[in-house]
Amino acid sequence: MHLWLSRPLWLVAVLVGGALAAPAAGSVREVPAGRQGDFAAAAREFGVPESVLLGVAYLGSRWDAHAGRPSTAGGYGPMHLVDVLPAAALTVGDALGDARGDDARPMPPRPALLPSPLSAAARPPSTTLPEAGRLIGAGPATLRDDPVANIRAGAALLASYRGSPSSDPADWYGAIARFSGADDPATARQFADEVFAVMREGVRRRTDDGHEMRLDPVPGLRLPGTKSAGELDPSSPEEPLEPLAPDAEPAEPGEPGEPVEPAAAAPGRSATVECPKSLACEWMPAAYKRFGKKKNRDYGNHDRLSRARSVDYIVIHDTEGGYQGISSMIRNPKYVSWHYTIRSRDGHVAQHVKTNDLAWHAGNWDVNTRSIGIEHEGYLAKGGTWYTEAMYRASAKLVRYLAGEHGVPLDRAHILGHDNVPGTTPKTVAEMHEDPGPYWDWAHYFELMDKPLKGVKDGDSVMIRPSYDDNRPRFTGCVTTKAGKDCPPHGAATVWLHTAPAESAALVTDTGKHGDKPSTYSVYDHAARASTGQRYAVAQRQGDWTAIWYLGQKAWFHNPPGRPVAVPAKGPLVTPLKAGTKVYGRAYPEKSAYTRATAQPLTPLQYRIGPGETYTVGDTVTGSYYAAGSFSPSRHVTTTGTTRYHQIQLGHRIAFVMTKDVRLIP
């Protein structure tokens, strides 16, 4: 009974019958069919401007239903209504294996990292699904599985946050920010700002279950001022409060929290963070501490530098666990580290290591010394994966900023997935990681960075570029299915590669990953896959099929002219000068270059390439090795040689060939 008494009278009337709902923005028009109509009907029923409802839903789910499966944050349905997190979300699995990747100092065995009691900074996010369900009288199971009920409940919740009806989208800024569930005002502002950006830009896409959706641009939409654009706090519409101080205790989950204002300057964040001003970032430092006995002491979990370094790569990871586990792991010196983590639900960014310092994240020391690593809260395949738009947009802003600061080209030769990082020696190839996996939407990601992956008119190579929403290749082995069973259909940024131009032909083999065993259709097996944005040299064409050079063999994929999955591309190529040309997983200098550090062996990988084959070049570098086996940065030694390497797209992963062993085709 008290639930109803706590609601504004206008909302109670709407929830009872819907007839008294305030009209949505714009003139009354016929409700369209499908999911577009479901949003229009819910907006009209609860007095929420349709653009607001669509914008909020897009930032959470991109309007997908995900067949009732949760996001990493525990969110369900098109409105991303958040329920209680599973216990597994407290752990982080991407740090398994030797992420330092340095033969000169292999990491000692690490104990199992168990979930620890959550601190205030790592508390589970507030839930929205139970409250939204109560507003429309629907149970949790209904809101998880029924997209129509999910949309209605989300609209009712937004309306309750607003506190009074309004047809002006600008008046809903505070309600949108609160809907984010963020426990700090800066992140809530960031979420609302992104929703407003989506409303200004407009969006069109087809959902995972086939609904054509659109959000028409809202011309002249403005961010609200402090008081002039509507009530930011439903409990006190006349007097918005000041943001929380940087070290103030955030509101408990489920409480209304602080009112919010636009996030243009992201007030209250630490001056330590390296982030664009439009992002809500916090400094959550990684451990830098000695441990172990004096005679055999190690330290963790990153290396600090006393001089500036060059950054060639930004590596995209997923956590294989929830954000709540990040604090425990990153503060443990016996584990590994990365530079940033991005939270799924609202796009909140935490920085752990300064970008000039070396995080241990890629499993390849050469790549670690030349890269920035960013973890994204999510799973490669759990439930078909759900990377939220809020996280995509925050990550794209961060990467664009970092690329500009460090001179990293915005292309797939330099913005790598963890699954594109090569093994260091033949022994480590098979154990390299697979994240972020085939469900990471690379094309959308680069569009958000204002660097769309486009082809050229006349290319000497091809760029893999399937339509993510339409491309639904077969995968097996997702967490929600039994071993060998097919994963739920889902858009993907990858194509399968065959030994001949036919779907019935076997997949190409990867001797480094499987030895003499065949490749599989497992979502965790990229041995026979090419991914969006990767550029390959064309080996042959036959009918609707295209072959590329891949791991020393021709690899075929279906590429019909009417529905191509690759586009023409241009760029330098190399061809080997002799049979059995060696490829390497790291660009180290020649032995004679070492004068102050122990010489590192030039160990080739198990792959060989030869004349007649052609590979695309992503970069050309001089071999170097950074010896950092000391807690004191002043004792670190850099060795630079004269051996030059071309970075090539060998297979799904990059690799290196010595320039003396190949002929460059400009």
- pLDDT tens per residue across span 2-45: 333 344 444 544 454 443 344 444 445 566 889 999 999 999 99
- Concatenating the DSSP letter of every residue in 564-627 gives -SEEEE---EEEESSTTEEEESS-PPPGGG-SSSPPPP--EEEEEE-TT--EEEEEEEEEEEEE
pLDDT at 113 over 90: no
Residue that the structure tokens 């241990």 belong to: 360
One-letter identity of residue 268: G
> Within 13 Å of residue 389, how many CA atoms lie on the same side as its CB?
26
- Concatenating the DSSP letter of every residue in 499-543 gives SSSSTTSPBPP-HHHHTTSPP--BTT--TTEEETT-EEEEEEEET
* Domain at 2-85+124-215, CATH class: mainly alpha
What Rg value do the Cα atoms of the chain yield, rounded? 26
Q: Give yes or no for a contact between 123 and 253, defined as CB atoms under 8 angstroms apart.
A: yes
Across all residues in the chain, what is the average pLDDT? 86
Residues 567 and 571: their CA atoms lie apart, in Å, by 13
- pLDDT tens per residue across span 49-60: 999 999 999 999
Q: What is the dihedral of CA 103, 107, 109, 113, to 10 degrees?
A: -140
How much is the average pLDDT of 545-564? 97
Where are the alpha helices (H) located in 17-62, listed in sequence order? Answer: 34-46, 50-61
Between the CA of residue 627 and those of 100, 105, 359, what are the distances in Å?
Answer: 12, 10, 14
pLDDT of residue 154: 98
Other C-beta atoms lying within 10 Å of the C-beta of residue 480:
13
How much is the average pLDDT of 187-213? 94
Q: In the CATH scheme, what is the homologous superfamily, with its name and number, of domain 281-494+505-532?
A: Peptidoglycan recognition protein-like (3.40.80.10)
Q: Considering only 25-34, 104-113, 187-196, 211-220, which range has the smallest mean pLDDT?
A: 25-34
Residue that the structure tokens 């609200």 belong to: 224
DSSP summary character for residue 127: P
Residues 61 and 80: their CA atoms lie apart, in Å, by 6
Contacting residues for 234 by C-beta, under 8 A, at least 6 apart? 160, 161, 162, 163, 174, 175, 178, 256
Q: What is the dihedral of CA 55, 59, 63, 66, to 10 degrees?
A: -160
342: left (phi over 0), alpha (psi -120 to 50) or beta: beta
Start and end residues for every CATH 1.10.530 domain found in the chain: 2-85+124-215
Residues 588 and 603: their CA atoms lie apart, in Å, by 9
Residues 65 and 147: their CA atoms lie apart, in Å, by 6
pLDDT of residue 20: 38
Of 597, 542, 549, nearest to 576 by C-alpha is 549
Q: Give yes or no for a contact between 662 and 609, defined as CB atoms under 8 angstroms apart.
A: no
- Sign for the pseudo-dihedral over CA of 91, 97, 98, 99: negative
Other C-beta atoms lying within 10 Å of the C-beta of residue 84:
14
Q: Give yes or no for a contact between 333 and 300, defined as CB atoms under 8 angstroms apart.
A: yes
Residues 621 and 618: their CA atoms lie apart, in Å, by 10
Q: What are phi and psi of 392, to 5 degrees?
A: -55, -45
Residues 256 and 46: their CA atoms lie apart, in Å, by 20
Of 436, 432, 551, 533, nearest to 497 by C-alpha is 551
Of 475, 480, 476, nearest to 493 by C-alpha is 475
- pLDDT tens per residue across span 455-476: 999 888 999 999 999 999 999 9
Other C-beta atoms lying within 10 Å of the C-beta of residue 406:
17
pLDDT at 306 over 80: yes
pLDDT of residue 73: 84
Please name every residue paired with 602 in a beta bridge, in sequence order, or none if there are none. none
CA 11 to chain centre: 37
pLDDT at 588 over 50: yes
pLDDT of residue 520: 96
Of 66, 19, 61, nearest to 39 by C-alpha is 61
Residues 375 and 350: their CA atoms lie apart, in Å, by 10
pLDDT at 91 over 70: no
Confidence of residue 562 (pLDDT cuts 50, 70, 90): very high
Q: Is 258 helix (H, G, I), strand (E, B) or coil?
A: coil
Question: Between 9 and 512, where is the model more confident?
Answer: 512
CA 418 to chain centre: 11
Q: Give yes or no for a contact between 175 and 154, defined as CB atoms under 8 angstroms apart.
A: no
Question: Between 615 and 12, where is the model more confident?
Answer: 615
∠ at Cα 401 (408, 437), nearest 5°? 70
pLDDT of residue 263: 38
Pairing of strands 573-576, 615-627: antiparallel
Please name every residue paired with 158 in a beta bridge, in sequence order, or none if there are none. none
Residues 481 and 146: their CA atoms lie apart, in Å, by 21
pLDDT at 240 over 50: no
One-letter identity of residue 319: T
Express as a percent the part of the chain with pLDDT over 70.
83
